[in-house]
Amino acid sequence: MATTAELFEEPFVADEYIERLVWRTPGGGSRGGPEAFDPKRLLEEFVNHIQELQIMDERIQRKVEKLEQQCQKEAKEFAKKVQELQKSNQIKEAADIIQKLHLIAQELPFDRFSEVKSKIASKYHDLECQLIQEFTSAQRRGEISRMREVAAVLLHFKGYSHCVDVYIKQCQEGAYLRNDIFEDAGILCQRVNKQVGDIFSNPETVLAKLIQNVFEIKLQSFVKEQLEECRKSDAEQYLKNLYDLYTRTTNLSSKLMEFNLGTDKQTFLSKLIKSIFISHLENYIEVETGYLKSRSAMILQRYYDSKNHQKRSIGTGGIQDLKERIRQRTNLPLGPSIDTHGETFLSQEVVVNLLQETKQAFERCHRLSDPSDLPRNAFRIFTILVEFLCIEHIDYALETGLAGIPSSDSRNANLYFLDVVQQANTIFHLFDKQFNDHLMPLISSSPKLSECLQKKKEIIEQMEMKLDTGIDRTLNCMIGQMKHILAAEQKKTDFKPEDENNVLIQYTNACVKVCAYVRKQVEKIKNSMDGKNVDTVLMELGVRFHRLIYEHLQQYSYSCMGGMLAICDVAEYRKCAKDFKIPMVLHLFDTLHALCNLLVVAPDNLKQVCSGEQLANLDKNILHSFVQLRADYRSARLARHFS
């Protein structure tokens, strides 16, 4: 069976089409004779082809309609473009004409040509408004080329700046949809920076005007809203917000520095930032210092309240200064001793909180202060730190600790001042670190540097003087405690027993208790101090310890066995002195041990021993004084060896 498509291969003629269809249909023509003719089949073939022709007609009709619509649309668009082009050319021509007329009208006398001048001015204004409206519509449609054309025409009109204003206003429509206005502003300026050069002949001026508009209107109102609500009610939040907003504004400014904004963009952006924050930066340091003082006072008060401690007044002035000088020179406790129950009244948590508040204040000061005011403002913050950390906390603890040191003749005294020393040293390190890390960079190139260093030096010297006084009095208390032990435990019969033959040669009970006490104090000193301070204090304690034992041994008379026992005691004291790890202290006890040998050496060998290596350099009176302690001094006529 022939297909409809095959029958359409040649130019279409109806009669020929029917004949071709009959000829191609089996049983439809004269082929095969009359017997082969099949009218039913031919009819069926005609019906099928008629249906196919109808379907084909419908398809062709739809294509025709679609093509007609497309042609109509393209015709309209073409007509519109032609119209716009004509309109554009007309506007340009009209703008050119009205510009020339406007210039001519300026030269015409007003009294004779007032009506003409008025009509020209009206037409000038109407055309200007028409151009601005055309620019506005083109911007909304996103037609950059059209915007460029209109802007170029408007460039010669007085209303050109209004065209720029319209552009800036429409640029910002829908630009602030996020929660971060600074990020939105940065994205907006970046987008406009890419576009503005394709529209205006002076893109840097337009971009600068946009940025000025963003800063003076959008950002300024946002900053005012964020700061005004907490300015009077919450100084802490106000300072945090001010620092955050100023930082984000300057960060935005840094990003905008990448764009072409004209000649001196640094000054331009700085002025914009200043215009936003000027009212807040003028008195910033007053707010900062006021807040820091109240916050620091609250931190300290909260700590003392937690200890149920009412701070006592530490007097100043003539009488107190006189007492302090007397105490430092005589080491006498003036006034009753205060029982602190082991409390040092120093808190590392308090110190960390004070330093953290001050650190944040230094950071804000660095960011928010004018460069010319920075060193002075930083110094004010430093003085507040000195007041509350060094004076109100550390110095108060030292004064309280000094007042808590018992007199040197107190029995079973609890010595807590070394705990004060330990904590004070730790705090000094933290204070010094903040001074170097956070204050020094702010004042390093200003006259305030020497002032801060001097103030720090004075504070540390005052603290060290009080620490030295407290350590000295504490050492006196330790020696006093050893005296009590020796007085209570040492018997005269220890060194001059009634039965010389029934003596167990070992150290005395007094020696055991004194050595146990000394070792405990040495360990405490090592834990309380660091560096050379440990050696200095241990040397002082060692010298006093030696003097105490030396003077203690001078009080007794020694038999031969008693002298042996004294040598054993001194040997134990010497072993204890080794724990000091101070060569001078060990040398003193070595010499004392050699002196004790004079208590037991045979009279005939006394002169030889006195000239021995360890004793040869000692004063003869010292050697004689030890020999005089022997029970046989008179009977053996030992004085002759020193005459």
Who contacts 67 (Cβ-Cβ below 8 Å, separation ≥6)?
A: none
pLDDT digits (tens, 9 = 90+) for 137-160: 888 888 888 888 888 888 777 777
- Of 229, 235, 209, 368, give the one whose Cα is nearest residue 293: 235
Q: What are phi and psi of 528, to 5 degrees?
A: -90, -15
Report the candidate in 99, 154, 94 with the shortest Cα–Cα distance to residue 128. Answer: 154
Contact residues for 310 (Cβ-Cβ < 8 A; gap 6+): 304
- Residue 402's Cβ-side half-sphere holds a number of Cα atoms within 13 Å equal to 25
Distance (Å) of CA 642 to CA 118, 413, 610, 626, 630: 137, 44, 10, 12, 14
Asked whether the beta carbons of 39 and 55 are under 8 A apart, the reply is no
d(CA 419, CA 342) in angstroms, rounded, equals 9
Phi, psi for residue 264 in degrees, rounded to 5: -105, 75
Nearest to residue 416, comparing CAs of 405, 425, 427? 405
Please tell us whether the domain made up of 503-641 is placed in CATH 1.25.40: no
Q: What share of the chain is helix, strand, coil (3-state, %, to 5)?
A: 75, 0, 25
Cα torsion 197, 203, 206, 210: sign? positive
Exposure string (b/e) for 326-340, b if CB count within 10 Å is 16 or more?
Answer: ebeeeeebeeeeeeb
Q: Which residue has the tokens 């950059």?
A: 144
Both tokens of 628, joined, read: 């005089």
Phi then psi dihedrals of residue 630, to 5 deg: -70, 140
Evaluate the CA torsion angle 361, 363, 368, 372 in order and state its sign. positive
Buried b (16+ CB within 10 A) or exposed e, 105-141: beeeeeeeeeeebeebeeebeebbeebbebbbebbee
- DSSP one-letter code for 215: I
Which pair of tokens denotes residue 567? 């040598």
Contact 276, 247 (CB under 8 A): no
Amino acid identity, position 179:
N
Residue in 268, 263, 231 with CA at minimum distance from that of residue 253? 268
Task: Give the tokens for residue 543.
Answer: 């010298």
Residue 343: predicted pLDDT: 86
Cα pseudo-dihedral 211, 216, 222, 223, rounded to 10: 110
CB-based burial label for 421 (10 Å; 0-12, 13-18, 19+):
buried
pLDDT of residue 82: 45
Tell me the C-alpha distance between 91 and 73, whole Å. 26
> Phi, psi at residue 12, to the nearest 5°?
-80, 125
Task: Using alpha carbons only, give the angle 105, 107, 112 rounded to the nearest 5 degrees.
Answer: 75
Which pTM value belongs to this model? 0.74
**374-384 pLDDT tens trace:** 999 999 999 99
Low-confidence ranges of the chain (pLDDT < 50): 1, 82, 86, 316-318, 328, 335
Task: Name the residue with tokens 């498509």.
Answer: 5
CA distance 315 to 229: 43
> What six digits make up the tokens of 73?
């649309």
Is 145:196 a contact under the CB 8 Å cutoff? no
Output the six-digit token pair for 156. 């010669």
**For residue 72, what are its two tokens?**
């109509």
**CA contacts within 13 A on the Cβ side of 344:** 19
Question: What pLDDT shows up at residue 326?
Answer: 55
End-to-end CA distance of the chain: 163
Query: How many CA atoms are closer than 13 Å to the CA of 289, on its beta-carbon side?
Result: 16
Q: Is 105 helix (H, G, I), strand (E, B) or coil?
A: helix
452 contacts 432 by C-beta, under 8 angstroms: no
CB atoms closer than 10 angstroms to residue 359: 16
The whole-number pLDDT of residue 318 equals 45
Beta bridge mates, 558: 630
The whole-angstrom separation of Cα 351 and Cα 426 is: 10
Count other C-beta atoms under 10 Å from residue 239's C-beta. 22
From CA 248, how far away is CA 328, in angstroms rounded?
55
Q: 304 vs 98, 299, 307, 395, CA distance in Å? A: 85, 9, 5, 15
Give the phi and the psi of residue 558 in degrees, each rounded to 5: -120, 125
| DSSP class per residue in 42-102 | HHHHHHHHHHHHHHHHHHHHHHHHHHHHHHHHHHHHHHHHHHHHHHHHHHHHHHHHHHHHH
